[in-house]
Chains A and B, each alone.
Chain A
Amino acid sequence: MTWLVPLPVVMPLLGAALTLLLAGRPRAQRWVSLTVLTATVGVAAALLIRSTVDGPLVVEVGGWVAPLGIVLVADQLAALMLVVSAAVTLCVLVYSIGQGMADGNEETPLSVYHPTYLVLTAGVCNAFLSGDLFNLYVGFEILLVASYVLLTLGSTETRIRAGTTYVVVSLLSSLVFLVAIGLVYASTGTLNLAQLVDRLDALPDDLRLVLQGMLLLAFGIKAAVFPLSAWLPDSYPTAPAPVTAVFAGLLTKVGVYAIIRTETLLFPGGRSADLLMVAAVLTMVVGILGAVAQSDIKRLLSFTLISHIGYMLFGIGLTTALGLSAAIFYVVHHITIQTTLFLAAGLVERRGGSTALDRLGGLARLSPLLAVLFFVPALNLAGIPPFSGFLGKLGLVQAGVADGSPLAWVLVAGGLLTSLLTLYAIARVWNLAFWRAPHPDMPAAGDTVRTDDGAYTGAMLPRLMIAPTVALVVLGLALTAVAGPLFEVSTDAAENLLRRTPYVEAVFPDGAP
């Protein structure tokens, strides 16, 4: 079954090439993208099942033997991330197709959208599957370059302004990563993650700390960990709704994934645990305080995104199996929910003509379906029982209490406070945008609304935009239903990560060279 492993990278890349050739035929482009991403979901699900039953699946790319060539490794963590990411990208693709078709801009130069979107998917999958530090860098670059293009689609003034900040910050983080790779290679002579396990253990402590610090810095910028998070709320909200949704769901989580991978596999022992925990509590509290101050739904959601990255760091910083397992569960939950909320915000923008809270009102009466589509994931994000957000936070709090150190208690308190403030922030959105009387400026049925991406008939919600949002809301609810099995998988993944040997033995069955 190992032939499945490269497919999540290869299929979207081939699809990107094909859609680029079909640039003049939007209908064909759509079918190619849909087919490729549906197949990716299937392959990812198969990988998750196989890796749970048989242990990590390894492919030596091009037939080159492990330490010489590049390996792709699909262990449970990677496969779980792949499944969620592929499902989310598929839903967002359908949403963006619905938006494009409803706008009637099928013939615009946006024919570059589909290829770029598929390249982004390939980059994300490559980062998850990579068993090699430099290949991880390449995966990051692929997804970043695609994200630069998607963020500046249409190249309007606001997007160019926001895109500039985003590109420069991302370039800096890539550069830090590249330098860290150079130093790792210089000190160990390898970049294969499985081989690095032993070789990094043999290095002097201070040298290891430098390498660990540089990698954490690079991934911290990508994951938007406070104080490295200022770029995110500036850039994300300006992009088109589906693009913001997929960025919010996936890109920061790739950074979190890289932190989990390096902290458990390469630098175990928790030397950076205290640092991660302090960063976690600051990210949570500062992020959510930023959200409370916002007057625009998209920006508010961007700040909650930063804030909830803190929960994942919380779990990683505890360095126990329970904490790590809760963090993995939280990543899965948060990818789904944050994407859903941004899609719902896109629908709000469509119905209300704006996402500014002082220009909206009465959406609950005007569009009850939209109200439900926002309300359910919003409560899920805040952690109201019985939603998955509650279960994830409960797992983290349990892990924090089990740890029992003073810093863990601070984190538990910070986590609960953040949960409460998240509820306050989204309740404000609910009160202002949905609950009060309709705003006179809002478009009535049949009005033409102008946005950065062209004009469309306001007050209409295309079915192809609603369907994927409903699907994601249902997926978010399903996370509660399957929480038991999902927690088993994430606990299994966490224990294997902490043991380290399953990963190394899968890559080097005869022992590391």
Chain B
Amino acid sequence: MNPNLTYVLVVGVLFAAGVTLLLERSLTRVLMGVILLGNGANLLLLTGGRAGGPPIVGTTAGEDMSDPLPQAMVLTAIVITLGMTAFLLALAYRSWHLNGHDEVQDDVEDRRIMELADRDEGPGTADNDSPDGEPPQEPAERPVVVSGDAGRAQ
């Protein structure tokens, strides 16, 4: 298909809307974003080939045929997007089932280590004052552990 302004604008709007939705926290919206982006990409793929009649020998003369390859690629991409949509829906449903929401959450462990850094404590360094970098949430439960240096001396 030959690119024209309308076509380019449609692709642009699909991409812009898709990216905006992709940045949302809710997985359902992310899914919408993925679908829009997928459709935008498929339209973009179609512009790659020549426009024309159906590429079937006998119905169209060779020079009037459209390029079938981008169409084949779009078909494959549609199938892949369909599978991914199903999987993301299942993920969102499972997340809602477990947590009561479908929000994409932060890396918990990462935040814990950042908190340790803020308090200027190394995580589990052998030569620290606190023997093994206690996690801030559960200081009372921590058993006393022989530090690495003492262990080495034995």
Binding site for B on A (CB under 8 A): 134, 138, 141, 145, 148-149, 152, 155, 157, 160-161, 163-165, 167-168, 171-172, 174-175, 178-179, 181-183, 185-186, 191, 233-234, 293-296, 299, 357-358, 361-362, 428, 431-432, 435-437, 439-441
Pairs A–B under 8 Å by Cβ, sample size 6: A168-B104, A185-B45, A233-B110, A428-B125, A431-B126, A437-B154
Smallest CB separation, B137 vs chain A (Å): 13
Smallest CB separation, B105 vs chain A (Å): 5
| B126–A358 touching, CB < 8 Å | no
Residues of A near B108 (CB, < 8 A) are 161
**B69 at the binding interface (Cβ < 8 Å):** yes
Which of B91, B113, B122, B154: most chain A CB closer than 10 A? Answer: B91
**In residues 77-91 of chain B, which contact A (Cβ within 8 Å)?**
77, 80, 83-84, 87-88, 91
Known contacts A358-B133, A428-B124, A441-B143: A181-B45 contact under CB 8 Å? yes
| B148–A171 touching, CB < 8 Å | no
| B109–A299 touching, CB < 8 Å | yes
Residues of B near A295 (CB, < 8 A) are 113, 116, 123-124, 133
Nearest first, the 7 A-B pairs at minimum CB distance are A436-B151, A295-B123, A186-B48, A358-B132, A182-B45, A357-B124, A185-B48
| B109–A358 touching, CB < 8 Å | no
**In residues 98-134 of chain B, which contact A (Cβ within 8 Å)?**
98-99, 104-105, 107-110, 113, 116-117, 122-126, 132-134
Known contacts A182-B45, A234-B107, A428-B125: A141-B148 contact under CB 8 Å? no
Smallest CB separation, A67 vs chain B (Å): 11
Instruction: A183 to B3: give the CA distance in the assembly, Å.
Output: 12
Smallest CB separation, B21 vs chain A (Å): 11
Instruction: A138 to B107: give the CA distance in the assembly, Å.
Output: 30
Interface mask (B131-152 → A, CB under 8 Å = 1, otherwise 0): 0111100000011011110111
Residues of B near A161 (CB, < 8 A) are 95, 105, 108
Residues of B near A155 (CB, < 8 A) are 94
B145: contacting residue among A163, A233, A299, A439, CB under 8 A: A439
Residues of B near A167 (CB, < 8 A) are 84, 87-88, 91
Instruction: A299 to B123: give the CA distance in the assembly, Å.
Output: 12
Residues of A near B109 (CB, < 8 A) are 296, 299
Residues of B near A437 (CB, < 8 A) are 145-146, 150-151, 154
DSSP class of A's interface residues: helix, strand, loop or mixed? helix
Instruction: A164 to B147: give the CA distance in the assembly, Å.
Output: 38
| A186–B47 touching, CB < 8 Å | yes
**In residues 17-71 of chain B, which contact A (Cβ within 8 Å)?**
22, 27, 30, 34, 37-38, 41, 44-45, 47-49, 69-70
Smallest CB separation, B45 vs chain A (Å): 4
**B73 at the binding interface (Cβ < 8 Å):** yes
B148: contacting residue among A148, A164, A178, A431, CB under 8 A: A431
Known contacts A362-B151, A432-B148: A182-B48 contact under CB 8 Å? yes
Residues of A near B48 (CB, < 8 A) are 182-183, 185-186
A176 — nearest CB in chain B belongs to which residue? Answer: B41
Instruction: A358 to B27: give the CA distance in the assembly, Å.
Output: 34
Instruction: A431 to B98: give the CA distance in the assembly, Å.
Output: 38
Instruction: A189 to B86: give the CA distance in the assembly, Å.
Output: 33
Query: Other CB < 8 Å A-B pairs besides A134-B73, A293-B122, A357-B132, 6 of them?
Result: A164-B91, A182-B48, A186-B47, A432-B126, A432-B132, A437-B151
| B22–A361 touching, CB < 8 Å | no
Known contacts A145-B84, A168-B22, A428-B124: A234-B91 contact under CB 8 Å? no
| A160–B87 touching, CB < 8 Å | no
| A160–B152 touching, CB < 8 Å | no
Residues of A near B122 (CB, < 8 A) are 293
A436: contacting residue among B44, B83, B94, B126, CB under 8 A: B126
Smallest CB separation, B133 vs chain A (Å): 6
| B113–A294 touching, CB < 8 Å | yes
Instruction: A436 to B87: give the CA distance in the assembly, Å.
Output: 45
A157: contacting residue among B30, B34, B84, B99, CB under 8 A: B99
Smallest CB separation, A106 vs chain B (Å): 24
| A152–B91 touching, CB < 8 Å | yes
Smallest CB separation, B104 vs chain A (Å): 5
A179 — nearest CB in chain B belongs to which residue? Answer: B41
Residues of A near B30 (CB, < 8 A) are 168
B88 — nearest CB in chain A belongs to which residue? Answer: A167
Instruction: A299 to B150: give the CA distance in the assembly, Å.
Output: 26
| A361–B143 touching, CB < 8 Å | no
Residues of A near B83 (CB, < 8 A) are 145
| B152–A436 touching, CB < 8 Å | yes
Smallest CB separation, A410 vs chain B (Å): 27
Instruction: A357 to B135: give the CA distance in the assembly, Å.
Output: 11
Smallest CB separation, A364 vs chain B (Å): 10
Residues of A near B124 (CB, < 8 A) are 295, 357-358, 428, 432
Smallest CB separation, B143 vs chain A (Å): 5
Smallest CB separation, A212 vs chain B (Å): 18
Residues of A near B143 (CB, < 8 A) are 439-441
